[in-house]
Amino acid sequence: MTGPLDGGRGGGGGHGDDARDEARGEPRIPAPRAAGDDLTLSVPPFPLVLGAYEDEEPEEEPDEAAGGDVAGGDAMDGTAALCLGPGAGDRPADMTHNADDADAARTADPADTADTAHHTTGGTDTTGGTEAAGLSHSVLKSLLGAWALAVCSAEETAAVEVHLGECAACADEALRLRDAVGLLHMERDLDLDPLLRFRVLENCLGRRPARIPVPAWAAPYDAETARLDALLRDFGDSEWDAEVRLRWFEGDRQMTRSTSVAQVLGHLMAVDGLVAGALGLGDPLGTTAPPSPEERTEQFWKSAKQPLAPAVRQPWRGQSHTLIRTVSFAGRGVSELSVSYGDFSLALKDSLLDRAFECWIHAGDIADAVDYPYEPPSGVHLNLMIDLAARLLPHALAARRRAGLASPPHYLMTPGAPGRSLHLEIEGAGGGSWHIALDSPAANASADHAVAQVALEAAEFCRLAAGHISPEEAAAGQDGDREAIREVLFATASLSRL
Question: Interface residues for other proteins in 96-125 (CB under 8 A)?
Answer: 96-97, 100-101, 103-104, 107, 110-111, 113-114, 117-118, 121-125
Q: Does 78 bind other proteins (CB under 8 A)?
A: yes
Q: Which is closer to other proteins, CB of 183 or CB of 403?
A: 183
CA distance 494 to 474: 14
CA distance 491 to 292: 19
List CB contacts of 47: < 8 A, sequence separation 6 or more.
Answer: 186, 188, 234, 236
Specify the DSSP class assigned to residue 443. S
**Span near other proteins by CB under 8 A; candidates 44-52, 296-304, 333-341, 481-489:** 44-52
- Map the footprint of other proteins across residues 222-281, applying CB under 8 A: 222, 226, 229-230, 233
Q: φ, ψ for residue 427 (rounded to 5)?
A: -105, 160
Q: What residue spans of 43-152 are helical by DSSP H?
A: 49-52, 62-64, 74-83, 97-106, 110-121, 137-142, 144-148
Which residue from 491, 382, 485, 493 is spatially nearest to 431, judged by alpha carbons? 382
Q: Does 80 bind other proteins (CB under 8 A)?
A: yes
C-alpha of 302 from chain center: 25
Q: Which is closer to other proteins, CB of 208 or CB of 305?
A: 208
Site size with other proteins, rule: CB under 8 A: 125
Smallest separation, CB 221 to other proteins (Å): 11
CA distance 369 to 365: 6
Q: Does 304 bind other proteins (CB under 8 A)?
A: no
Q: Which strand (E) or helix (H) includes residue 491?
A: helix 482-494
CA distance 270 to 277: 11
Question: CA 146, 150, 154 angle in degrees (round to 5)?
Answer: 95
Q: Which of 44, 209, 404, 415 binds other proteins (CB under 8 A)?
A: 209
CA distance 67 to 71: 7
Q: Which is closer to other proteins, CB of 31 or CB of 183?
A: 183
Q: Which of 4, 266, 273, 431 binds other proteins (CB under 8 A)?
A: 4
Binding mask 121-150 for other proteins (x = CB under 8 A): xxxxxx-x-------------xxxxx-xxx
**Span near other proteins by CB under 8 A; candidates 25-33, 297-305, 323-331, 468-476:** 323-331
- Map the footprint of other proteins across residues 325-384, applying CB under 8 A: 325, 328
**Span near other proteins by CB under 8 A; candidates 64-72, 343-351, 371-379, 447-455:** 64-72
Q: Does 41 bind other proteins (CB under 8 A)?
A: no
**Span near other proteins by CB under 8 A; candidates 162-170, 211-219, 377-385, 462-470:** 211-219
Beta strand pairing call for 477-480 and 444-457: antiparallel
Q: Does 181 bind other proteins (CB under 8 A)?
A: yes
Tell me, what amino acid is at 118? H
Smallest separation, CB 172 to other proteins (Å): 11
Q: Which is closer to other proteins, CB of 97 or CB of 245?
A: 97
List CB contacts of 141: < 8 A, sequence separation 6 or more.
Answer: 117, 121, 170, 173
Question: CA 14, 19, 20 angle in degrees (round to 5)?
Answer: 95
Smallest separation, CB 291 to other proteins (Å): 22
Smallest separation, CB 111 to other proteins (Å): 7
Q: Which is closer to other proteins, CB of 348 or CB of 392?
A: 348
Smallest separation, CB 474 to other proteins (Å): 35
CA distance 473 to 424: 17
Q: Which is closer to other proteins, CB of 210 or CB of 417?
A: 210
**Span near other proteins by CB under 8 A; candidates 319-327, 345-353, 378-386, 423-431:** 319-327
Smallest separation, CB 399 to other proteins (Å): 35
Tell me, what amino acid is at 379? G
Q: Is 29 in contact with 161 (CB distance < 8 Å)? A: yes
Q: Which of 29, 34, 36, 281 binds other proteins (CB under 8 A)?
A: 36
Secondary structure class of 435 (helix, strand, coil): strand
